[in-house]
């Protein structure tokens, strides 16, 4: 019995000593996402087309929360654009037109704040609602799966030559896709689609960056 107890004691000590080494062999955690601000050169490159521009809807009235379950046909049950948000999206559309940034198509989430953002900014461009761009924060992991399939397809599909595709949606959706919670509202995320489910994050344009970007004129 004494030999058995001694053996157990030695075995336990060996396992405790090995624990730190075993812990160090575990796979490292993924690198944290790093946001990059767009440069004037990147803004100019949008005029040549070839990008997917993911836009988080304009500023909202945070005194109103979405009802659960949300009623897509009733904006009174949803968080909607504030006056500031509506003005901001109109201004965004004006900047696209002034800079000559071509837009082939605008797809938006069915929520009122994204639908209205798309209409205010891109009323002169073809628009359509995409259900799987729906606000995903309140979904289960299983419910998010078809949304992730759709958003990956959209951000990895190149637009027609000489144009860009615009997606107007929500912050949690990109966070689910590659760990980027887009903030603040009204931010543009510049993505380069590579096809076959592949894409590259290039840079972001939050509303506060526009003045510095436009301080250096874009050449014709």
| pLDDT at 218 (0 to 100) | 57
Instruction: Report yes or no on 21 lying in a domain.
Output: no
- Point out the residues of the chain with pLDDT beneath 50: 1-30
| pLDDT at 174 (0 to 100) | 96
| pLDDT at 10 (0 to 100) | 43
| pLDDT at 216 (0 to 100) | 76
Number of compact structural domains in the chain: 1
Instruction: Report yes or no on 115 lying in a domain.
Output: yes
Instruction: Report yes or no on 13 lying in a domain.
Output: no
| pLDDT at 18 (0 to 100) | 41
Phi, psi of 58 (to 5 degrees): -65, 175
Any idea what the CATH number is for the domain that residue 45 is in?
3.40.50.1240
| pLDDT at 33 (0 to 100) | 87
**Domain boundaries, position 114:** 40-215
Q: Could you give the C-alpha distances from 159 to 164, 172, 176, 205, 206, in angstroms and in order? A: 6, 24, 23, 20, 23
Instruction: Report yes or no on 100 lying in a domain.
Output: yes
| pLDDT at 30 (0 to 100) | 46
């Amino acid at each position: 019995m004494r030999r058995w107890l001694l053996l157990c004691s030695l075995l336990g000590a060996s396992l405790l000593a090995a624990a730190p080494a075993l812990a160090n062999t575990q796979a490292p955690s993924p690198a944290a996402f790093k946001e990059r601000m767009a440069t004037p050169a990147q803004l100019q490159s949008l005029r040549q087309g070839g990008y997917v521009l993911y836009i988080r809807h304009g500023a909202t009235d945070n005194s109103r929360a979405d009802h659960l379950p949300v009623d897509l046909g009733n904006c009174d049950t949803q968080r909607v654009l504030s006056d500031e948000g509506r003005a901001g999206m109109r201004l965004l559309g004006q900047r696209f037109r002034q800079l000559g940034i071509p837009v082939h198509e605008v797809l938006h989430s069915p929520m009122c704040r994204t639908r209205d953002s798309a209409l205010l900014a891109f009323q002169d461009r073809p628009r359509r609602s995409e259900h799987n761009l729906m606000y995903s924060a309140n979904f289960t992991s299983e419910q998010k799966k078809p949304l992730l399939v759709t958003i990956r397809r959209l951000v990895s599909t190149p637009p027609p030559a000489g144009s860009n595709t615009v997606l107007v949606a929500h912050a949690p959706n990109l966070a689910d896709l590659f760990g980027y919670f887009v903030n603040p509202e009204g931010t543009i995320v510049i993505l380069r689609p590579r096809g076959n489910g592949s894409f590259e994050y290039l840079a972001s344009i939050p509303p506060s960056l526009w003045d510095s970007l436009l301080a250096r004129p874009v050449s014709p």
